[in-house]
Amino acid sequence: MIRIAIQSKGRLNEESTALLQEIGIGIDDSKRKFLSKVPNFPMEVLYLRDDDIPQVVSCGTASLGIVGENEVAEKGLDVRVVKKLGFGGCRISLAIPKDSPYEGPQWFNGKRIATSYPRILKQYLDSQGIKAEIEIITGSVEVAPAAGISDAIFDIVSSGGTLVSNGLKEVEKVFFSEAVLIAYPNLSAEDEQMLQTMLFRIDSAIYSRDKKYILMNLPKESVEAATKILPAMRSPTVMPLAAEGWCAMHSVVEEDGIWDKILQLKAIGAEGILVLNIDKIIP
Ligand code: PRT
Ligand code: ZN
């Protein structure tokens, strides 16, 4: 039985749950308790605040965890970062009042900076040779300058909307983060094997993300041009059609930019184009 810690509620909860479900680990989020057993997989799920996940994984209370890289770096504990999971993307940035002139990191010398990430901030300031005062605040860091608590902030930014609505501007992007799968550094052989099973499935889930299956009928002379538009995993599947001079082509395509590709395919004579969702790809 392997134990995984995930965020109980918040920005990473939904996608952590969805990823586990996608790889066949049927956690029932509606019946969530502090600790739940997964019905169809030898796994227990421990629901925690994200701040606590690095700690429980570093001491082995949970063998695995899903958490933001920002929390891993801030806690500075011994955990194994196994895999970037491709969601929960954000950055931790320095931001100052929008009307302050800014010429570079030296601006922060002698200033007070409010943050919930003092460790990452201190590492950055030290690396730049800057001496500033760090004010530790948990929650609503973005109001600190207007409240007179600090001159600047060091906080998570995603769209940047929160900074703008608080009259701040982002001046240094210091740390880039996404959700990661972390593991206890001394996993038992049994847990390591379970982790490898999960990783195989996670790789497939991540690879399949944002990909579509595309089929079309194509004049035979356009196959080469179509292959350039749709590079595919190895090469596209081409099958003859009963109609003379025509074939059917199947391929896998990134969803991003798919409409451009469809236009290009139509321009070389493709007809009856179908785009289908993919459940799983094992590359
Ligand atoms: O209760 P618990 O402690 O578990 O949750 P929490 O409130 O500490 O964290 P939560 O759920 O807000 O975020 C969990 C993780 O999501 C973070 O540790 C990051 O790894 C990641 N993440 C991704 C974000 C954001 N995007 C994000 N935008 N975490 C926080 N924000 C906040 C940010 O603090 C700021 O207030 O969103 C605001 C900025 O957003 P924009 O879009 O306006 O720039
Ligand atoms: Zn938190």
- Residue 248 and residue 236: Cα distance in Å, rounded? 10
Give 51 Cα–ligand 2 centroid separation in angstroms: 5
At 132, the amino acid letter reads A
Q: Regarding beta strands 90-97 and 152-157, do their DSSP bridges make them parallel or antiparallel, or are they unpaired?
A: antiparallel
Instruction: For residue 161, give the ligand nearest its CA.
Output: 1
Give 279 Cα–ligand 2 centroid separation in angstroms: 33
Full DSSP string of 161-215:
HHHHHTTEEEEEEEEEE-EEEEE-TT--HHHHHHHHHHHHHHHHHHHHTTEEEEE
The pLDDT score that the predictor gives to residue 203 is 94
Ligand 1 near 50 CB (within 6 A): yes
Q: Whose CA is nearest to atom 39 of ligand 1?
A: 157
The pLDDT score that the predictor gives to residue 48 is 96
- What residues have CB less than 8 Å from 260, skipping those under 6 apart? none
Name the pTM for this structure.
Answer: 0.90
Instruction: For residue 69, give the ligand nearest its CA.
Output: 1
- Sheet of 112-115: strands edge to edge? 133-136, 112-115, 152-157, 90-97, 168-177
Tokens representing 270 are 């493709």
The pLDDT score that the predictor gives to residue 249 is 94
Provide the sign of the torsion angle of the four alpha carbons 27, 31, 32, 35, taken in this order: negative
Contact 209, 280 (CB under 8 A): no
Helix (H) or strand (E) holding 15: helix 13-22
Atom of ligand 1 nearest to the CA of 162: 43
Contact 28, 39 (CB under 8 A): yes
By most ligand atoms within 8 Å of CB, the mutation choice from 75, 94, 143, 158 for ligand 1 is: 158
pLDDT tens per residue across all 283 residues of the chain: 999 999 999 999 999 999 999 999 988 766 667 989 998 899 999 999 999 999 999 999 999 999 999 999 999 999 999 999 999 999 999 999 999 999 999 999 999 999 999 999 999 999 999 999 999 999 899 999 999 999 999 999 999 999 999 999 999 999 999 999 999 999 999 999 999 999 999 999 998 888 999 999 999 999 999 999 987 767 788 999 988 999 999 999 999 999 999 999 999 999 999 999 998 888 7
Give 91 Cα–ligand 1 centroid separation in angstroms: 10
- Residue 19 and residue 85: Cα distance in Å, rounded? 9
